Amino acid sequence: MSSCSVLVLAAGQGTRMRSRLPKVLHLMAGRPLLWHILRAVRGLKPERLIVVSGFQAELVEQTLAAPDIHWVQQNERKGTGHAVLCALPVLHSLSGELLILNGDHPLVSTEILLSLLEEHRQKGNALTLLSTTLRNPDGYGRVVRDADGGVVRIVEEKDAVAVERAICEVNTGFYCVSLDRLPGWLARITNQNAQNEYYLPDIVPMALAEGGASALCVEDALALSGVNDRLQLANMERIFRDRMVEGFMASGVTFVDPSSCWVAAEVQIGADTVIEPNVILGPGSVVGEGCHIGPFCHIQDSRIGPACQIHSFCHLEGVDIEGENDIGPYARLRPGSYLARKAKVGNFCELKKARIGVGSKINHLSYIGDAEIGSGVNVGAGTITCNYDGVHKHKTVIEDRVFVGSDVQLVAPVRVGMNATIGAGTTVTKDVPADALAVSRTAQTHILAWADKKSRFSS
């Protein structure tokens, strides 16, 4: 099928959201509403992609910046018809069909857009609109049809009389129009209505008179629903999550309690991975095959290799772990952390910008930051890399097969050579040669019969 151009309307504030943030930047599944629409649109490979911004245009354009978008600004929001009018200077150079889409319908798919385009071409229409039927049509424009079932016009809820309000077929705000006709129609729209706005749907009767118009009523009402307030947004979020999780389950992932988990758009999970209840997989999470993610873990912007065990209550952000790793419970891995195969990070450990070699273990209560740890290293309980001198960050290097005893401080910059041993309680301030034992604690002394002296002091 040959391509068309696409115009997305995203200039509105979204008053009903009661927010300083433009509606199209509110997140669903971790991505702005407009991002979801653009994803569906890009599936069409449009000849030209134009987006109308207005309310906080700069922020919207920055957030969704991409070379394939031609931004047009609508400085004053006078309605959807006015928004399209603002794009006319760009549209003049184009021909063929134009899909016009509301920017607040994030569940729309490429397939639905294709079916609209196909219907438009088959019918030879000048305008085709996409409608759906909703049990609760509140807030939407209603599709008014004549006795023969032909579309007559769209009436906005605020302008509708009781019989019209009872109509359950609604306008989705997705249209396919013939570009040569559009400028003539737009010139004739007025703002004589309840909201004093220039309504785009007012071009429907004009199209009927000039070239023909019809409405394609699509069953999948969920996919065509819009977001006007935060309740609708939350409902949409749930629908999106359910669909994603169903997709994962179909491809071999176990969710023990799907409805308790949250998954961002474009997350990947390999087969035979088990996700326990209350897990959050935020944007940029890629989880390999055969992993086990325990309850209450929060992972984002991270790659988890195959066969990892992540026990309950772990927080991973911006990390890369190779596979067969064992993490937590209660571990926090911060950005820039890398674990080679079979490395272990146990309870109450924090890692930041730390590379841990194959099979190395940091099992209890440690802080490891700005560090490079070789393979086969054992880091004892309570070990701390002192990476910050109050002004600069410094690096700690621990070479292969080093044994670090418990309660050790490594004052960076410092390097511990291969096979060295650090005695428990040591504060390492100088590089340790390979194979050496480093101990810095003072020798233990005994004052005998201390208990007797103590009781005499206190009596």
Which residues participate in catalysis according to the annotation? Answer: 364
* Listed ranges 169-177, 246-254, 296-304, 383-391: which one lies at the site for ligand UD1 (CB under 6 A): 169-177
The burial of 249, by beta-carbon neighbours within 10 Å (0-12 exposed, 13-18 middle, 19 or more buried), is given as middle
| Size, binding site for ligand UD1 by CB under 6 A | 29
Among 31, 46, 102, 189, binds ligand UD1 (CB under 6 A): 102
Is 173 one of the binding residues for ligand UD1 (CB under 6 A)? yes
| Residue 426 binding target from Ca ion, ligand UD1, none, CB below 5 to 8 Å by type | none
Q: Which residue is nearest to ligand UD1 (CB)?
A: 141
From CA 434, how far away is CA 268, in angstroms rounded? Answer: 43
Among 32, 103, 282, 288, binds ligand UD1 (CB under 6 A): 103
Is 248 one of the binding residues for ligand UD1 (CB under 6 A)? no
From CA 103, how far away is CA 64, in angstroms rounded? Answer: 13
The 8-class DSSP code of residue 141 comes to P
Please name which of 433, 32, 384, 38 lies closest in space to residue 237, comparing C-alpha atoms: 32
Please name which of 223, 255, 249, 217 lies closest in space to residue 236, comparing C-alpha atoms: 223
* Listed ranges 165-173, 322-330, 358-366, 428-436: which one lies at the site for ligand UD1 (CB under 6 A): 165-173
Please name which of 206, 225, 81 lies closest in space to residue 151, comparing C-alpha atoms: 206
* Listed ranges 38-46, 98-106, 294-302, 354-362: which one lies at the site for ligand UD1 (CB under 6 A): 98-106
**Least CB distance from residue 139 to Ca ion, whole Å?**
7
Distances (CA, A) of 230 to 16, 37, 58, 438: 8, 18, 23, 60
- Sketch the per residue contact string, 5 through 24, with ligand UD1: x for CB under 6 A, - otherwise: ----xxxx------------
Is 156 one of the binding residues for ligand UD1 (CB under 6 A)? yes
Among 40, 64, 108, 154, binds ligand UD1 (CB under 6 A): 154
Among 5, 125, 128, 172, binds ligand UD1 (CB under 6 A): 172
Other CB atoms closer than 10 Å to residue 40's CB: what's the count? 21
| Residue 170 binding target from ligand UD1, Ca ion, none, CB below 5 to 8 Å by type | ligand UD1
Is 104 one of the binding residues for ligand UD1 (CB under 6 A)? yes
Is 226 one of the binding residues for Ca ion (CB under 5 A)? yes
**Least CB distance from residue 120 to ligand UD1, whole Å?**
18
Among 44, 100, 129, 170, binds ligand UD1 (CB under 6 A): 170
Is 80 one of the binding residues for ligand UD1 (CB under 6 A)? yes
Please name which of 92, 206, 102 lies closest in space to residue 154, comparing C-alpha atoms: 206
Which residues within the stretch 204-243 sit at the binding site for ligand UD1 (CB under 6 A)?
Answer: 226, 228
Strands 315-317 vs 332-333: parallel, antiparallel or unpaired: parallel
| Residue 5 binding target from ligand UD1, Ca ion, none, CB below 5 to 8 Å by type | none
Among 125, 132, 171, 337, binds ligand UD1 (CB under 6 A): 171
| Residue 128 binding target from ligand UD1, Ca ion, none, CB below 5 to 8 Å by type | none
| Residues whose CB falls within 8 Å of the CB of residue 319, separated by 6 or more in sequence, listed in order | 302, 303, 333, 334, 335, 336, 337, 338, 339, 351
Please name which of 112, 232, 121, 125 lies closest in space to residue 174, comparing C-alpha atoms: 112
Which residues within the stretch 249-268 sit at the binding site for ligand UD1 (CB under 6 A)?
Answer: none
- Sketch the per residue contact string, 93 through 122, with Ca ion: x for CB under 5 A, - otherwise: -----------x------------------
Q: Is the peptide bond before 329 cis (omega within 30 degrees of 0)?
A: yes
From CA 127, how far away is CA 118, in angstroms rounded? Answer: 12
| Size, binding site for Ca ion by CB under 5 A | 3
Amino acid identity, residue 396?
Answer: T
Helix axes 33-42 and 110-123, enclosed angle (nearest 10): 50
Is 201 one of the binding residues for ligand UD1 (CB under 6 A)? yes
Strands 437-438 vs 421-422: parallel, antiparallel or unpaired: parallel
Burial 122-148 (b: 16+ CB within 10 A, else e): eeebbbbbbbbebeebeebbbbbbeee
Asked if 79 and 197 touch (Cβ cutoff 8 Å), the reply is yes
* Listed ranges 164-172, 233-241, 249-257, 266-274: which one lies at the site for ligand UD1 (CB under 6 A): 164-172
**Interface positions with Ca ion (CB under 5 A):** 104, 226, 228
What residues line the site for ligand UD1 (CB under 6 A)?
Answer: 9-12, 52, 54, 74, 77-80, 82-83, 102-104, 140-141, 154, 156, 170-173, 199-201, 226, 228
